[in-house]
Structure 1
C-alpha cells in the first residue's frame, strides 16, 4: 500500500515530525488542526465557532491535496478547551458537513498547542 503525505509548511510540522495529512490506500487522515493563518497566528482567538469554521477549511484544503473532498469524510474529532462551547462548535460542524454527517466525537481537553486556540479538529476520509 502506497503512502502519500502533505504539508501546510508550518514550523510545527518540521519541529514535531508530522504531516498535515496522509493518504494510505483508500484512507486519508488529517492531523489535529487549529485555526491559524498563513503566518501561523491563531484566527479569532477565543471564538470557538470561528475557529472551528477556519480549522475545517484547513482540513478541506488538506483533503484536496489528496484528491479527496468533504463528502468523503467519515469521521471527525473535535477537541475543545471548554465543553460549554459544544453548541457553537457543533453548529460550525453542521454547517460545514451538511448532509455528509460523519461520525463525530467532541471532548474537552485542558489545553491545546497555544492558549489562544480553543478548538482543534481531525478528520478521516474514505475514498474509492
Structure 2
C-alpha cells in the first residue's frame, strides 16, 4: 500500500515532491517548516544581504512545523505519538537548544518524548527567513 499527501503549496510543484508518503506501516514526512498555507509563520528578519539578523522566532517556527507534521500524520490515521525518528535542521544551534526542549515536549505531549532525535546545524534552508525544518518517520 502506498499513499501520499500534500499541502498544495507552490514549492511542492516547483521542487517536485509530496509532503508525506505512506509505504506499508511506515509514514515518511518531508522536512516540515513553520508555514501556514503558502506563508512562512513568524519569518525571521533578514538584512540587505539576506542574512538572518534575529533568531528569536525559532520557537514559533518550530511549533508550527510540529503542528504541520501532526496535521499530515492525522491524514493517515496517525499522530506524533507514532513518530519513531525526527531530524531537526536549524540555522543556529544555541537558539534551537534554547527552545527545542519545551517545544518538543509540548508537541509530543510528554516530558520524555519517545522518539529518536537528531539536531543538525546547517548553513541554509529553503527560504531566507526560515530557521528550522524537521523531518519525521512514523510507524503505525
Larger Rg belongs to: 2
SS at 1:4's partner residue? Answer: strand
* Partner of residue 117, structure 1: 130
Instruction: Answer yes or no: is 1:23 the counterpart of 2:34.
Output: no
**Residues in 2 aligned to 1:72 and 1:60: alpha-carbon distance in whole angstroms:** 10
More helix by share: 1
**Residues in 2 aligned to 1:117 and 1:84: alpha-carbon distance in whole angstroms:** 16
TM, length-normalised to structure 2 = 0.84
Aligned structure 1 segments of 4 or more residues deviating by more than 2 angstroms: 98-101
* Partner of residue 81, structure 2: 71
Verify the 8 A CA contact 1:81 1:108 in the aligned structure 2.
yes
* Partner of residue 106, structure 1: 119
For structure 2, the residue ranges without an aligned partner over 5 or more in a row are 45-56
Which one of 99, 102, 117 corresponds to residue 91 of structure 1?
Answer: 102
* Partner of residue 54, structure 2: none
Q: How many residues are aligned here? A: 125
For structure 1, the residue ranges without an aligned partner over 5 or more in a row are none
Verify the 8 A CA contact 1:49 1:91 in the aligned structure 2.
no
**Residues in 2 aligned to 1:104 and 1:6: alpha-carbon distance in whole angstroms:** 23
SS at 2:76's partner residue? Answer: coil
